[in-house]
């Protein structure tokens, strides 16, 4: 009997994406992510057209899709629609009546996600049955062989937890004066690497059981370009600057320095090699397609607008920061952050970024 | 292609059960309902033991359960566990290894339900995969033939909407000076009857498509005892007294009388005949078992405690009242209600009540 895994869910639950409808809420600020999803619509369509087995389509009247790390929409709805459209097209192209096919979409995120908001904003004209699934995607979420297609956009870099070694005050990976791995000591970097490897192992192991044989997984994963150091990778640069703001506040006495030392953002950007070797180690999936979206971040105007960037980062991290430092420092912190991003804009703009677009197929077991 | 029905969901969404954790929240006050669920555990066990086809159990490794009108738990979790335990027992009794069977439980309620709270309180040691499904159960919620067992406890009396005729200011069923049908004119009663008949038709029609052939539905439905007038049925008495409190406040000028006239609680208690004829009209289900729990409400001590009763009714109706009358009258209204319930306790205690326990089976289509 499968037992829902809660450990990591509880850990992850500490870091919900910000719900609600306020000006710095995720839904308002996720426009830049939708840009990527729109750009990647063609990738989804082609993946399904070329890689989806007709056998899977014909084996059941219901096609089940799961989106992992859905947040509160609306990108997740947009992806679901793209996938369904492509599957229907494929079905029709075989001379079949796509009216007979039904879709069920499972929206997954950690338990602390604002599912109420997600549910309220489900498109009223949706052509699928919707369900919400709370829990960490590093554990089992679905019954055996019950999902036809997994999708995840921008969620996989979120780790199941801050590596334990980094939380050990007396160990070599104690991350004093920093909140992230990319500008930290080799010990910290190693701890993050190891955590990512372990997480990917658990992620792929769970999915391998949940997906039907021959089923596809379509992932959009922000990563680290080959040959680019951690500290020069664009999203990392942005976190590093945020860490330096916290240290400024610590020096001013606004924030307890101990709290900065013990705080770490559980996010890790894989290289293409790390991604490939995780898939190889798992052994249940073939890489059917891999593209790099090199210039996505570079073309995103948000990186040319420090104030907007600060408010987007606030939207995605506010829950995490509130828990560690309290509500009251947030305005000062993110005001300073906006200023620093402006001062260091050339550093931001020189940061290298890549989004891996991958299609994996479950091999026969 | 099925299209999720939203009309009734939006109507129903007006009346969410109260979320949160406060002293008058649903979770705190649902203890009396749990009493019924506990008393009915045996009913569930026997229904599954005697009526569940082994064929259904053997047709898939995943057994899918849906609870309709789950609110925020915990009764819903309790029911899910009872059902799973009984199914496992049945499986074992056939010499099969119940470890190979997986369970997926879909928790359904209207979109305005507090799913965040529901998800946070899911038992951490649950032996099933959980999903939340927002939407009115008077429309389609699940793909064709995808559910093995439906369960619903105490939710079916909630109608999809207040009957349109009752909302017509110039029609004969305008419910002036009242908020409920049971003490109203024949025209109002007829409008509620007709709405219930229509709702049951839609409810059973949707379930007939969603359930597997031979699948079971186990329902606990508070109803009206045969031969008891609407106005003497226990839950109705309680709503009638609440209506008289609102009219008292209208006379005092605290509440606009027009608002009382246009306000109606969308809840209807069927007789056993109405229930039976709804099932017959639908034609897709056989009634496999029907028991009446006659003395459930009579034994429930809440009916001997006017203050507790007032706070329970407040918990379940607060959303509805807030929307129509505003937040500010609630304390005064429910204080008066507690007093009136105390004054009219003999009337409350003389109210007749029944809970129908029914098991329906999907006949072959």
- Candidate from B99, B120, B144 with C-beta closest to A102: B144
Asked if the model's pLDDT at residue A130 lies above 90, the reply is yes
Interface test with B, best of A66, A105, A129 (most B CBs within 10 A): A129
Q: What is the pLDDT of residue B10?
A: 32
Interface test with B, best of A59, A131, A135, A213 (most B CBs within 10 A): A131
> In chain B, where do the E strands start and end?
62-68, 102-109, 129-134, 147-153, 211-223, 285-293, 354-362
Give the B window 138-197 contacts with A, CB below 8 Å. Answer: 140-146
> In chain A, where do the E strands start and end?
62-68, 102-109, 129-134, 147-153, 211-223, 285-293, 354-362
Which long-range contacts (C-beta less than 8 Å, at least 24 apart) are formed by B338-343?
Answer: B338/B306, B338/B307, B338/B309, B338/B310, B338/B311, B339/B306, B340/B241, B340/B244, B340/B245, B341/B238, B341/B241, B341/B306, B341/B309, B341/B310, B342/B306, B342/B307
Percentage of residues in chain A having pLDDT higher than 90: 75
Pairwise CA distance, residues A29 & A313, whole Å: 9
Interface test with A, best of B103, B116, B148 (most A CBs within 10 A): B116
User: What are A227-278's pLDDT values in tens digits?
Assistant: 999 999 999 999 999 999 999 999 999 999 999 999 999 999 999 999 999 9
| Closest approach of B165 to chain A, Cα-based (Å) | 26
Q: What is the pLDDT of residue B36?
A: 60
Asked if the model's pLDDT at residue B267 lies above 80, the reply is yes
Pairwise CA distance, residues A139 & A330, whole Å: 32
Q: Report the pLDDT averaged over residues A322-349.
A: 95
Percentage of residues in chain A having pLDDT higher than 70: 87
Handedness of CA A93, A97, A100, A102 (dihedral sign): positive
Beta-bridge partner residues of B352: B233
Pairwise CA distance, residues B324 & B318, whole Å: 10
User: Quick one: how far is CA B79 from the chain centroid?
Assistant: 14
Lowest mean pLDDT segment, chosen from A132-141, B56-65, B195-204: B56-65
Residue A299: which pLDDT band, with cuts at 50, 70 and 90? low
Residue A56: which pLDDT band, with cuts at 50, 70 and 90? confident
DSSP assignments along A315-339, one per residue: HHHHHHHHHHH-GGGHHHHHHHHHH
Residue A59: which pLDDT band, with cuts at 50, 70 and 90? confident
Tell me if residue A357 falls in helix, strand or coil: strand
Q: What is the pLDDT of residue A353?
A: 87
Query: Cβ B142–A129 below 8 Å, yes or no?
Result: yes
User: What are B245-256's pLDDT values in tens digits?
Assistant: 999 999 999 999
User: What are A71-104's pLDDT values in tens digits?
Assistant: 998 989 999 999 999 999 999 998 988 888 999 9
Q: Which residue has the higher pLDDT, A73 or B137?
A: B137
Q: Which two tokens stand for residue A29?
A: 């600020």
CB neighbour list of residue B326: distance below 8 Å, 6 or more residues apart: none
Q: Report the pLDDT averaged over residues B261-273.
A: 96
Q: Which residue has the higher pLDDT, A52 or B36?
A: A52
Q: Which two tokens stand for residue B230?
A: 């609407």
Asked if the model's pLDDT at residue A10 lies above 80, the reply is no
- Candidate from B102, B119, B128 with C-beta closest to A115: B119
Pairwise CA distance, residues A318 & A315, whole Å: 6
User: What are B153-175's pLDDT values in tens digits?
Assistant: 999 999 999 999 999 999 999 99
CB of B223 within 8 A of CB of B272? yes
Asked if the model's pLDDT at residue B20 lies above 60, the reply is no
Tell me if residue A97 falls in helix, strand or coil: coil
| Closest approach of B297 to chain A, Cα-based (Å) | 33
Interface test with B, best of A66, A91, A102 (most B CBs within 10 A): A102
Give the B window 66-95 contacts with A, CB below 8 Å. Answer: none
Q: What ipTM score was computed for the predicted complex, to two decimals?
A: 0.90
* Chain A contact set for B142 (CB, 8 A): 104, 129
Q: What is the pLDDT of residue A177?
A: 95
Q: Which two tokens stand for residue B40?
A: 């009915």
- Say if strands A354-362 and A285-293 run parallel, antiparallel, or are unpaired: antiparallel
Asked if the model's pLDDT at residue B27 lies above 80, the reply is no
Nearest CA among B135, B130, B76 for reference residue B103? B130
Asked if the model's pLDDT at residue B1 lies above 60, the reply is no
Angle CA(A314)–CA(A41)–CA(A36) in degrees, nearest 5?
25
Give the A window 93-112 contacts with B, CB below 8 Å. Answer: 98-99, 101-104, 106, 111-112
Query: Cβ A134–B119 below 8 Å, yes or no?
Result: yes
Nearest CA among B176, B115, B138, B185 for reference residue B11? B138
User: What are A189-210's pLDDT values in tens digits?
Assistant: 999 999 999 999 999 999 999 9
Radius of gyration of chain A, Cα coordinates, nearest whole angstrom: 20
| Closest approach of B63 to chain A, Cα-based (Å) | 9
Q: Report the pLDDT averaged over residues B295-305.
A: 71
Q: What is the pLDDT of residue A34?
A: 55
Residue A186: which pLDDT band, with cuts at 50, 70 and 90? very high
Asked if the model's pLDDT at residue B127 lies above 60, the reply is yes
Query: Cβ B128–A4 below 8 Å, yes or no?
Result: yes
Query: Cβ B143–A124 below 8 Å, yes or no?
Result: no
Nearest chain B Cα to A6, which residue?
A: B124
Q: What is the pLDDT of residue B22?
A: 47
Query: Cβ B131–A132 below 8 Å, yes or no?
Result: yes
- Say if strands A211-223 and B354-362 run parallel, antiparallel, or are unpaired: unpaired
Query: Cβ B4–A129 below 8 Å, yes or no?
Result: yes
Give, for A161, the enclosing helix (H) or strand (E).
none
User: What are B187-228's pLDDT values in tens digits?
Assistant: 999 999 999 999 999 999 999 999 999 999 999 999 999 999
Q: What is the pLDDT of residue B364?
A: 83
Q: What is the pLDDT of residue A1?
A: 32
Query: Cβ A129–B133 below 8 Å, yes or no?
Result: yes
Asked if the model's pLDDT at residue B31 lies above 60, the reply is no
Pairwise CA distance, residues A104 & A167, whole Å: 40
Q: Which residue has the higher pLDDT, B270 or B34?
A: B270
Mean pLDDT of chain A: 89
Q: Report the pLDDT averaged over residues B145-149.
A: 97
Helices (H), B52-114: 54-59, 75-93
Asked if the model's pLDDT at residue B55 lies above 70, the reply is yes
Q: What is the pLDDT of residue A21?
A: 45
Q: Report the pLDDT averaged over residues B12-24.
A: 42
Lowest mean pLDDT segment, chosen from A207-216, A232-241, B32-41, B53-62: B32-41
Q: Report the pLDDT averaged over residues A306-332.
A: 92
Nearest CA among A265, A244, A223, A242 for reference residue A352? A223
Nearest chain B Cα to A61, which residue?
A: B144
Nearest CA among A151, A146, A202 for reference residue A9? A202
Q: For chain A, say whether B119 makes contact (Cβ under 8 Å).
A: yes
Q: What are phi and psi of A233, to 5 degrees?
A: -85, 135
């Amino acid at each position: 009997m499968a037992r829902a895994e809660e450990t990591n869910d509880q850990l992850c639950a500490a870091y919900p994406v910000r719900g609600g409808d306020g000006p710095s809420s995720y839904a308002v600020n996720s426009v830049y992510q939708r840009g990527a999803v729109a750009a990647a619509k063609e990738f989804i369509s082609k993946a399904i057209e070329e890689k989806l087995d007709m056998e899977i389509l014909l084996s059941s009247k219901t096609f089940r899709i799961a989106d992992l790390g859905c947040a509160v929409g609306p990108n997740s709805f947009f992806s679901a629609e793209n996938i369904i459209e492509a599957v229907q097209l494929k079905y029709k192209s075989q001379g079949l009546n796509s009216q007979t096919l039904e879709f069920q979409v499972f929206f997954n995120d950690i338990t602390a996600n604002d599912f109420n908001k997600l549910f309220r904003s489900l498109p009223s004209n949706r052509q699928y049955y919707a369900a919400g699934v709370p829990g960490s995607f590093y554990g089992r979420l679905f019954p055996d062989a019950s999902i036809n297609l997994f999708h995840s956009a921008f969620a996989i870099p979120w780790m199941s937890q801050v590596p334990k070694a980094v939380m050990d005050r007396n160990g070599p990976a104690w991350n004093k004066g920093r909140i992230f791995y990319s500008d930290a000591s080799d010990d910290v970097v190693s701890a993050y690497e190891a955590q990512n490897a372990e997480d990917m192992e658990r992620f792929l192991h769970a999915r391998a059981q949940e997906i039907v044989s021959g089923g596809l997984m379509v992932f959009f994963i922000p990563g680290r370009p080959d040959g680019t150091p951690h500290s020069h990778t664009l999203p990392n640069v942005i976190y590093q600057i945020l860490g330096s703001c916290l240290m400024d506040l610590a020096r001013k006495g606004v924030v307890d320095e101990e709290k900065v030392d013990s705080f770490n953002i559980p996010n890790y950007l894989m290289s293409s090699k790390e991604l490939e070797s995780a898939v190889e180690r798992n052994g249940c999936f073939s890489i059917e397609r891999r593209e790099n979206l090199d210039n996505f971040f570079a073309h995103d105007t948000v990186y040319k607008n420090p104030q907007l960037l600060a408010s987007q980062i606030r939207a995605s991290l506010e829950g995490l920061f509130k828990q560690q430092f309290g509500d009251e420092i947030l305005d000062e912190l993110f005001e300073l952050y906006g200023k620093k991003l402006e001062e260091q804009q050339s550093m931001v703009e020189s940061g290298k970024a890549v989004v891996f677009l991958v299609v994996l197929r479950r091999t026969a077991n």
